[in-house]
Amino acid sequence: MVRVRFAPSPTGYVHVGSLRTALYNYLFARHHGGVNILRIEDTDRTRYVEGAVENMLRTMEWAGITFDEGPIQGGPCGPYVQSERTELYRKHADELIARGKAYPCFCTPERLDQVRKAQQAAGIPPMYDRLCRNLTKEEADKRIASGEAHVVRMRVPIGEVVRFHDIIRGDVEFDSKTIDDQVLLKSDGFPTYHLANIVDDHLMQITHVIRGEEWLPSTPKHVLLYEAFGWEPPKFAHLPLLLNADRSKLSKRQGDVAVEDYRDNGYLPEALVNFLALMGWNPSATEELFSIDELIRQFDLERVNKAGAVFNREKLDWMNAEYIRKMTPAELLPLVRPLLEARNYVAGDEYVLQVIHAMQERVRTLPDFVDFASYFFVPPDFTDVDEKYKSKHWTPEAKERLRALLPKLEALETWDHDSLECTVREFAEANGISAGKLIHPIRLAVTGKGMGPGLFELLHVIGKAESVRRMEKAVSTLN
């Protein structure tokens, strides 16, 4: 039975890399009919951010990632919040001391600082110098009994090679001399990540640890801890890093990294999930658009790459546009509504549905509906007009022609695509000009823009009264 976990630390927003980790765990669990567990790793109280757990839960729900066990669902291995399990970690730290695999350390922060500085000055990698490793049990017990502050450190074996197999990276080796006598329990009695993580993975019967590559250097420590407890380690799969276009580690400085930002900027969860699924995993087909069910069916850790995956924003935009195109205007309406309201644009549902229909093929994100198409809701003010387009198409002759055409448009009884097109084309022909000589100036007068949906559809949606009003105004006031 496959049991996997997503184990975020509530330190703020949800990074897109975390969402990918959560997604891969989810896909793997569902593919194998296994159990997907959510565990909150909140033992580092200095990094804890108020509201981060709630935000994380909302983000997972938005993305459609569900859990079978966790703080909300409960389950047989609870509680699923590490700060509620501290007694367990203390008990396990004691057990390690009793087995000779860990030891209490009384070194003060000042002493550790001096050691570190001396090592840095000597050009050696900073590590604990293991002063307390050889204290006798009697001495250690005496100092503990006298109430001296201490941590518990792991007794890393000397002169060993730690080996493990990673599903994605193959066989991995670390020389134990590069591994610090890591703190397992802090002086406040809280565990560090390493201890809490492996105790919980063991007690929660996790079969596969699927997490980001940044945790690879922690894994030999975890393997040693499993050994120290006499436990069978789970299987490991470390996911490739997400990279900026210049192949540096994906960072805030080069674009959005918070899932919340993508949500707020009008990306659909289906598109972001589809996009992230392909960040490191290669499906066997060349197809790139996958529903969540299709992802579940095809997902496989064997096809996850070692090499970092470049976060290609244009590809995400393309994918999002594809998803918007596949939706019906009625499905899009509730997503576009709040954006209109935020701008105080007032319009009935029927009207907004027509705008969505006209724009659907042209937008990449949801806010594009209001940003590119504001003229459906308010008359253009020509402040952001494309000057090149304007000087080319809004000539004195063009204005005169539009003035002459206007009465014919006003006389139209049916204001629909075909009647509009017919009127404009007949007028062009009668005057020996191309239809473009009318279409561009009309577009400019009515929308203030040089691009958009087909002009006749657009005029139809905006309606006769408003379109004529805008054209008249432009003819008389726009120079």
For residue 453, how far is the Cα from the chain centroid?
Answer: 31
As a whole number of angstroms, the distance between CA 232 and CA 476 comes to 83
Catalytic residue among 91, 142, 249, 252: 252
For residue 252, indicate whether it is catalytic: yes
Per the CB < 8 A criterion, the answer to whether 71 and 37 are in contact is no
User: Which of 62, 215 has the CB closer to ligand GLU?
Assistant: 215
User: Which of 209, 363 has the CB closer to ligand GLU?
Assistant: 209
Least gap, CB of 53 to ligand GLU (angstroms): 12
Per the CB < 8 A criterion, the answer to whether 198 and 96 are in contact is no
Q: Give me the residue label for tokens 């009625």.
A: 330
- Vertex 461 angle, CA 457 and 464, to 5°: 105
Per the CB < 8 A criterion, the answer to whether 52 and 12 are in contact is yes
Tokens matching residue 188: 């406040």
Q: State the amino acid at position 60 in one-letter form.
A: M
User: Which of 186, 362 has the CB closer to ligand GLU?
Assistant: 186
Residues ≥6 apart with Cβ < 8 Å to 232:
226
User: Which of 9, 55 has the CB closer to ligand GLU?
Assistant: 9
Least gap, CB of 65 to ligand GLU (angstroms): 15
User: Which of 52, 271 has the CB closer to ligand GLU?
Assistant: 52
Least gap, CB of 197 to ligand GLU (angstroms): 5
User: Which of 85, 211 has the CB closer to ligand GLU?
Assistant: 211
Least gap, CB of 211 to ligand GLU (angstroms): 4
Least gap, CB of 226 to ligand GLU (angstroms): 13
Please give the C-alpha separations between residue 454 and each of 350, 356, 440, 459, in angstroms, as whole numbers: 19, 13, 11, 9
Least gap, CB of 102 to ligand GLU (angstroms): 20
User: Which of 9, 182 has the CB closer to ligand GLU?
Assistant: 9
User: Which of 41, 213 has the CB closer to ligand GLU?
Assistant: 41
Least gap, CB of 314 to ligand GLU (angstroms): 28
As a whole number of angstroms, the distance between CA 1 and CA 107 comes to 44
Q: Residue numbers of the site for ligand GLU (CB under 6 A)?
A: 7-9, 41, 197, 211, 215
Least gap, CB of 219 to ligand GLU (angstroms): 9
Residues marked as catalytic: 252
